[in-house]
Structure 1
């Protein structure tokens, strides 16, 4: 991944939700994951209103 100029950081949710030293958080990737799940359900014609 370094070839693509990607830096992998971690956050331990047991202690914090934002890494105080680097500002790293998981909000962006979790938001993207939720949007992808919604889109996949729509494409598979799964009704999500009844859940």
Structure 2
């Protein structure tokens, strides 16, 4: 059986040390946009290689 870990231990932070929700949301959006741009770049490269 797999043991569940407490979220605070998994994050390595307590909930009090997390950034404000709006800051956290902004960071998440920025990270997702950067990841999407990287996927687009890879997709473009793969498409040009297959032509």
TM-score (norm 1): 0.45
Relative to total residues, which structure has the larger helix share, 1 or 2? 2
TM-score (norm 2): 0.45
The higher radius of gyration belongs to 2
Higher relative contact order (CA 8 A, sep 6+): 1
